Chains A and B, each alone.
Chain A
């Protein structure tokens, strides 16, 4: 069994420092890895990222993150990445990492993702350059996520995004803003590989559980949705490929 802790949208700044720490101190008792599903900072300054590093660094388990839209707002992404990297937090964007848990290789592929909407109500690559650029951005990001998932050499695959790959976990949000909360292209990318679990944030008023059209379980771990420091998902043995289970 692999135990995955996850939370998104923690929006850390100085005023939040220490709030998560008591729960994080006991995290290694409950989980083997912590996933951070974007919007780590309030508006994407290097100073806020240093607060994230203080709060989520040195946990004793690997911490793997993607950035969110808030983490881009002040155009300080290089400084944000440096601060997180200095704390040993792995930040994914179109790539992946593998963590070994009791001999099982857990592969996590991640992207921030982007919007565009869902089947029947999605934006199209048509018309003004701005509109085409918007849709192309999501398409390119989704392609990178799919490639990263398919290329993983591991026993269990998990997809980590900030934007949602399905509309299910947006239930509770106004329908009018769904196109700004996610894209079916991310779901299609997740379904292109044998993914065991997809984790995202971004939708503060959304709901916890959903499923891609291909049957991959999706969990919205935005902090205001889960209302706890992190959620823990225990992936049972039948999510682990037969080669890993048999020790080959």
Chain B
């Protein structure tokens, strides 16, 4: 994988309407790439992996993508 492929992966993640993610970091590793970041649902994480597999079939992919927690805050910030 070279710089051009890395750029294509990054753009595909942002520009494909089924994904539309600008917050995923693409990290090049020796066998392929690691996708890192956070998304809003497990479905979106699956879609990202599916898209990259489909568009870049020769590249080995590891995904380290979390789903952002959405619990109520446990404390407020006091702004004096």
Residues of A whose CB lies within 8 Å of any CB of B are 3, 10-13, 15-16, 19-20, 22-23, 26-27, 30, 42-43, 70, 73, 196-197, 204-205, 217, 219, 223-224, 227-236, 238-239
CB of A30 within 8 A of CB of B20, answer: no
By the criterion of a CB under 8 Å from any partner CB, how many residues of chain B are at the interface?
23
State in angstroms the CA–CA spacing of A234 and B71 once bound together. 19
On whether the beta carbons of A22 and B80 are closer than 8 Å, the reply is no
Provide a sorted-by-A list of 18 A–B residue pairs whose CB atoms are within 8 angstroms: A11-B40, A13-B40, A16-B41, A19-B40, A19-B41, A19-B70, A22-B72, A27-B72, A30-B76, A219-B77, A223-B40, A224-B23, A227-B68, A227-B69, A229-B71, A230-B73, A232-B77, A234-B76
Tell which of A10, A230, A234 touches B78, judged by Cβ atoms closer than 8 Å: A234
Q: B22 at interface (Cβ–Cβ under 8 A)?
A: yes
Please report whether the interface of chain B is mostly helix, strand, loop or mixed according to DSSP. loop
Chain B residues 50 to 80 lying within 8 A of chain A, measured CB to CB, are 68-73, 75-80
Whether B77 contacts A233 by the Cβ 8 Å rule is: yes
Q: A230-B72, A236-B79 are in contact. List 18 more A-B contacts (CB 8 A).
A: A3-B76, A10-B40, A16-B40, A23-B71, A197-B79, A204-B37, A205-B25, A223-B68, A224-B68, A228-B69, A231-B73, A232-B73, A232-B75, A232-B76, A232-B77, A234-B77, A234-B78, A239-B79
Could you tell me which B residues sit within 8 Å of A by CB distance? 17, 20, 22-23, 25, 37-38, 40-41, 43-44, 68-73, 75-80
| Most A CB within 10 A of own CB, among B25, B40, B44, B70 | B70
Contacts of A22 in B (CB 8 A): 72
A42 touches B73 (CB 8 A): no
Whether B73 contacts A15 by the Cβ 8 Å rule is: no
> For the complex, what is the distance from the CA of A75 to the CA of B75, rounded to whole Å?
38
List chain B residues, Cβ under 8 A from A16.
Answer: 40-41
B80 closest partner in A (C-beta): A236
Assuming A205-B25, A235-B79, is B73 touching A229 (CB within 8 A)? Answer: yes
